[in-house]
Structure 1
Amino acid sequence: MPKSIHSTQPPLKFISPRFNPLVLKIVSWFLPLILRVRTRPWLPAGIVKIEAKNAEILAKLYQEFQAGKVRFLIAFRHPEVEDPLSMLYLLSRIVPKVARAKGISLQYPVHSHFMYERGMTLWAGNWLGWLFSYVGGVPVRRGRRVDRNAIQMARDLFANAKMPIAIAPEGGTNGHSGIVSPLEPGVAQLSFWCVEDLQKANREETVFIIPIGIKYSYVNPPWSKIDWLLSKLEADSGLQVAEITQTGKQEEILYQRIFHIAGYLITEMEEFYRRFYHRDLPAITPEETDQPNDILITRLHRLMDTALQVCEQYFNVQPQGNFIDRCRRLEEAGWNYIYRDDITDINSLPPFKRGLADWVAEEADLKMQHMRIAESFVAVTANYIQEKPTAERFAETALLMFDMLSRIKESTLPGRPRLGLKQAMITVGEPISVSERWQLCQGNKQASRKGLSDLTNDLQVVLEELIKD
């Protein structure tokens, strides 16, 4: 995440893809090292092992793609920021290896264009935009009602490029390997458009969506590191650790601590919005049948709604859709205040107008922090840990709380603590034929809308199945 913004910024220009096979080859050479060290080269952390199930499905499809028989889109799960690296490893190493073992002939490169969120270059740096451009990336501004540059480029690449295209249909990370966030409709719409574009060009390729699940686990459960992280959260929160009963199994104790920290943070944030933003957040009186977890989640969702309302009222944005939809629109509204398309040359502004522009940008950046806090918890559920009290789920929940505290107490968001060595399991699902579905829903707009909705819902179900143990 970038440092706090104190001045207006130039507009976020579209970064056109300029695929360069040499750059891809160099990145692929260094990929195992990048996966291992990433942002913390001095810590024993990173991804040290990646395996795949059903990779021969992709190998066969790449062969048919290169023969001009099919077009396909890779729809992959997006739980963590490491996912693009995991996908690159799948395509550059695992799929070619499986193809050789199965006698499937493939041409280099086995790669894909991909869409990435334009804001990534804001916290990572402009170098990332350059790199993504040369390895086939297409930037998209998620909150825009229509990002024409991104849509037109993705549509053209899907139908005409020498490589398929990959998209995360969730639109962003949710920090949960075991939960798929609601899918955005863009994957289904692009797929239908591809069929239409091929039909208009009198081309006979069949269009598919290839669902891919990604799930991470620790090589060795980092219970001691989780304990350390919870102690840090307790200390940063000002909690009296002695209040927690240190009896029972390890998982029970850790869960009790997480529950205690979460309850404390929610209480403090409720009081923050009551006192300084004059919000009416009455105490919730539980029914006899209410479970403590459900009450906590009810309070969390009310708190998220309150934070988003504060942000929406400032930017004059109507609250529509689920939490994710609201966060996307607020992000775009904030960027419009900071990255000014309406200012031709910032440096040519007279001091008075420049001061006003800087004031607007700084205040917008502060207001967006309300949205960022809500954004961190969009996938949190009442029983995520209790359903499967694994080290991974404890770690994911604790790290989300770490993100929240970091946003509040730091001007920048520090890198997450790396709790241990991780491994990834990538599962390739059965191809979904879009061409067949497109044929069935032709005739009127209602049928087309239903077809898009059904395809999105079916893809959601498939992705959820792919990450089940």
Structure 2
Amino acid sequence: MVNLITNIQPTLDFIPPNFNPFVLKICQWGIPFWIKWKTPLVEIKGEKVERLVNLYQQFQSGKIRFLLAFRHPNTDDPFCMSQLLWRFVPETAKQQGIALSDPIHAHFMYDRGIPLWAGQFVTWLFPKLGGTSILRGKVDRLGLRSARDLFLTGQFPLAAAPEGATNGHNQSISPLEPGIAQLGFWCVEDLEKAERTEEVYLVPIGIQYFYIQDNWQDLERLISQLEKDCNLPQKTEELTTQSLYGRLMRLGNYLLDTMENFYRQFYHRSIPQDETLDFSERLKRLLDIALTVAEEYFNLKPTGDLNSRCRRLEQAGWDCIYRYNLKGNDNWSVVELGLADRVAIEASLRMWNMRLVESFVAVTGRYIRENPTFDRFAETTLIVWRMINQLKGNTSIKPPNLGKKRAKLTVGEPISVSQKWSDYQTNRRQAVANLTQDLQNALEQMIEY
């Protein structure tokens, strides 16, 4: 289900930002061609971009600092954000007769794990574009210090995805991580210490994708392929949303039955057959069991929501795998290296339980039923496809293309962190929670149904 790691790896050191304007110019030129070549996007539009123009004007005048908190439904989001900043903001500013200094760009935070699967080029590229890495499964002091410094003194605003990871859903937002709100308050605090007067904002950015056409035939063929993978009999009934929903539910129930039996037989879990549980309740129970299996191996307590448990498990696995100091400070014997390799293999194997959950944290079992559109059918079917291909061992295969898409980016009303500073001074934890909820509400209000 994952690419098995067979030996210990170099430590996951912090990757500091190293902005290079020449690299930025190359990307600004090349990204539009990459979008046409490598993504299904045929149209990207921005709404209320004038808000961002005003913010950049104030930022460049030294009046404000701000963080772009963008939605993260899928892996094409960075391309959309690039067009918002590099294209739409300058165009809108020109239309309004507002002179902005070039370039219009943003520093950004990215998960330290991304270079592990994206490769050496991304490891080199992200710092050159002003990105700063962060380990999300533990207190990454270097990563947090870098992000905090960029928010306070960076040449550009800061950008981050408060959901933390993609959830595959355009019309459902995962619970936001509190770190973005905390960074906002830290920036206010740092400005006060430096006796500076800038106001601090969080700017919600909605990102949403829509299929240009409802390609029901292609969707039905994909469902048929998934049924073959699961050895389920093929259906020949009339193609309707009701029939497709029934087939998806049959696939879902088959996978639930199979995975419950898997954990009963091979991990000795007591999972009672309960006819009263609906699909969403069974799924929630299965995901909890999968995480518990991994948590027991890594000796972790099952605290927090599914997302936070996944992140802690990922970090625990990385701590077992990425241990070798390339600078030569570690004096390993051959025996110690052999044992360390076995620990890395075991950790890599145990982490697949977490990867299973990671794909399904946003699945509720109600998403299609509440609004049976082609977009929701496609999103859910692709999540099922991803899980089945992980179980088959096809971890690097490209997802099937169900049609061309358009993307809409909406700049939300800026949220002043400075105005909430007194609340933070009174009760820090509650102030962070309230600001996080304000940001969640703002992102949800921008969703087009």
TM beyond 0.5: yes
Distance in structure 2 (CA, Å) of the matches to 1:125 and 1:103: 42
Kindly indicate whether the alpha-carbon contact (under 8 Å) linking 2:2 and 2:393 is maintained by their aligned counterparts in 1.
no
For residue 199 of structure 2, what is the aligned residue in structure 1? 206
For residue 18 of structure 2, what is the aligned residue in structure 1? 18
Deviates more, 1:228-237 or 1:88-97: 228-237
Distance in structure 2 (CA, Å) of the matches to 1:65 and 1:59: 10
Counterpart AA for 1:436: Q
Q: Deviations over 1:158-214 (max 9, x none)?
A: 011110000101111111111110011111100001011111111111111100110
For residue 180 of structure 1, what is the aligned residue in structure 2? 173
- Structure 1 residues not aligned, in runs of 5+: 39-44, 287-293
Indicate the SS of the match to 1:241.
Answer: coil
For residue 429 of structure 1, what is the aligned residue in structure 2? 412
Q: TM-score under structure 1 normalisation?
A: 0.93
Pairing partner for 1:416 from 376, 380, 399: 399
Distance in structure 1 (CA, Å) of the matches to 2:211 and 2:387: 23
CA, structure 1 residues 48+166, in 2 after alignment: closer, same or farther (shift >3 Å)? same
**1:191 and 2:181 matched:** no
What does residue range 54-453 of structure 1 map to in structure 2 within 5 Å? 54-144=48-138, 146-242=139-235, 246-247=237-238, 250-286=240-276, 295-340=278-323, 345=328, 349-410=332-393, 412-442=395-425, 444=426, 447-453=427-433
Indicate the SS of the match to 1:111.
Answer: coil
For residue 443 of structure 2, what is the aligned residue in structure 1? 463
CA, structure 1 residues 229+369, in 2 after alignment: closer, same or farther (shift >3 Å)? same
Q: Deviations over 1:419-441 (max 9, x none)?
A: 22111000110011111111344
Q: CA deviation at 1:31?
A: 1.3
Indicate the SS of the match to 2:58.
Answer: helix
Distance in structure 1 (CA, Å) of the matches to 2:209 and 2:329: 44
Distance in structure 2 (CA, Å) of the matches to 1:2 and 1:279: 22
Kindly indicate whether the alpha-carbon contact (under 8 Å) linking 1:8 and 1:357 is maintained by their aligned counterparts in 2.
yes
Please provide the CA RMSD for this pair.
1.7
Counterpart AA for 1:228: R
Indicate the SS of the match to 1:340.
Answer: strand
Q: CA deviation at 1:2?
A: 7.3
Distance in structure 2 (CA, Å) of the matches to 1:436 and 1:341: 46
Distance in structure 1 (CA, Å) of the matches to 2:424 and 2:115: 39
Kindly indicate whether the alpha-carbon contact (under 8 Å) linking 1:11 and 1:340 is maintained by their aligned counterparts in 2.
yes
CA, structure 1 residues 138+285, in 2 after alignment: closer, same or farther (shift >3 Å)? same
Indicate the SS of the match to 1:116.
Answer: strand
Kindly indicate whether the alpha-carbon contact (under 8 Å) linking 1:17 and 1:133 is maintained by their aligned counterparts in 2.
yes
Distance in structure 1 (CA, Å) of the matches to 2:186 and 2:249: 46
Q: Deviations over 1:352-372 (max 9, x none)?
A: 222111111111111100110
Distance in structure 1 (CA, Å) of the matches to 2:398 and 2:23: 27
Indicate the SS of the match to 1:356.
Answer: helix
Kindly indicate whether the alpha-carbon contact (under 8 Å) linking 1:2 and 1:412 is maintained by their aligned counterparts in 2.
yes
Q: CA deviation at 1:74?
A: 0.5
Kindly indicate whether the alpha-carbon contact (under 8 Å) linking 2:9 and 2:324 is maintained by their aligned counterparts in 1.
no
For residue 41 of structure 1, what is the aligned residue in structure 2? none
Indicate the SS of the match to 1:26.
Answer: helix
Kindly indicate whether the alpha-carbon contact (under 8 Å) linking 2:2 and 2:390 is maintained by their aligned counterparts in 1.
no
Distance in structure 2 (CA, Å) of the matches to 1:37 and 1:354: 44
CA, structure 1 residues 235+199, in 2 after alignment: closer, same or farther (shift >3 Å)? same
Q: CA deviation at 1:106?
A: 0.6
Counterpart AA for 2:123: G
CA, structure 1 residues 16+90, in 2 after alignment: closer, same or farther (shift >3 Å)? same
Q: CA deviation at 1:7?
A: 1.1
Identity %: 49
- Structure 2 residues not aligned, in runs of 5+: none
Kindly indicate whether the alpha-carbon contact (under 8 Å) linking 2:178 and 2:432 is maintained by their aligned counterparts in 1.
yes
Kindly indicate whether the alpha-carbon contact (under 8 Å) linking 1:4 and 1:411 is maintained by their aligned counterparts in 2.
no
Distance in structure 1 (CA, Å) of the matches to 2:143 and 2:329: 25
CA, structure 1 residues 169+308, in 2 after alignment: closer, same or farther (shift >3 Å)? same
Equivalenced residue count is: 449
For residue 3 of structure 1, what is the aligned residue in structure 2? 3
CA, structure 1 residues 85+346, in 2 after alignment: closer, same or farther (shift >3 Å)? farther
